[in-house]
Amino acid sequence: MEITTQTIQKLRHETGAGIMDAKKALQESGGDYAKAIGWLKKRGQKIALSKQSRKTKEGVIGYYIHANAKVAALVALVCESDFVAKTDDFKELAHDLAMQVAATDPQYISPENVPADIIEGEKEIYRAQLKSEGKPEKIWEKVITGKLDKFFSENCLLKQVFIKDDGKTIEQLIQARVLKLGENIQVRAIKRMAL
């Protein structure tokens, strides 16, 4: 399949990847657009992981105030350089994350931020439910893992589905910006207020 400039541009627009990355993704996937997106997502995860240890000392506070002026949210989004912090892409990400926090009210940033006693409490509830339903104990751990994943997707910002695009999580949204901007990007703090 021929790889056209229009296809590369479309892939760049959808994923935030650079020209060379979009072209390479299409080449690696034999021109298959869906496979190219998958290739970029996997690459984005690898790049995001490799950049996680780099220091984040710059950033912005993203904010969102709902139209009724009764719900607001703040997000401290950090990156490595002042240059990236001042870009429209970075500021837009901070705003989108604040909107997400206002809409979904996550209690934690990531599963790693959930206190161990909360997780253990959830597991106890799930065990009691499984026991009362008469489910065999050999499947409990698998079911509990699935229920915890659901708990994290409801209560942890990074695991939530993005309200503007249900095809990606907040974590994937951030990874796409890491790939595009070339820096470590992390959510440092979130705060939601409501009347």
Instruction: Using a pLDDT cut of 90, give the percent of the chain over it.
Output: 54
Examine the domain organization and report whether 32 and 42 are in the same domain. yes
176 CB neighbour count, 10 Å cutoff: 21
* Higher local confidence (pLDDT), 103 or 45: 103
> Which parts of the chain fold into alpha helices (H)?
5-15, 19-28, 33-51, 82-85, 88-104, 116-132, 140-155, 170-181
Q: What is the DSSP letter of 2?
A: -
Report angle CA 9, 81, 155 to the nearest 5 degrees.
75
Task: Give residue 45's pLDDT band: very low, low, confident or very high (50, 70, 90).
Answer: low
Average pLDDT over the chain reads 87
Dihedral sign of CA atoms 124, 126, 129, 135 in order: negative
Average pLDDT over residues 37-54: 63
This prediction has a pTM of 0.71
The predicted structure's pLDDT at residue 15? 67
Examine the domain organization and report whether 18 and 79 are in the same domain. no
- Tally of structural domains, the chain: 3
**DSSP 3-state assignment of 157?**
helix
Examine the domain organization and report whether 121 and 29 are in the same domain. no
Average pLDDT over residues 154-164: 96
The predicted structure's pLDDT at residue 47? 54
The predicted structure's pLDDT at residue 50? 52
Q: What is the DSSP letter of 59?
A: E
Examine the domain organization and report whether 80 and 163 are in the same domain. yes
Average pLDDT over residues 78-92: 93
Q: What is the pLDDT of residues 106-149, one digit of tens each?
A: 999 999 999 999 999 999 999 999 889 888 888 888 999 999 99
Task: Print the domain residue range for 136.
Answer: 115-154
Examine the domain organization and report whether 174 and 95 are in the same domain. yes
CATH code of residue 160? 3.30.479.20
The predicted structure's pLDDT at residue 31? 81
Residue pair 72/192 in contact (Cβ under 8 Å)? The answer is yes
Examine the domain organization and report whether 101 and 129 are in the same domain. no
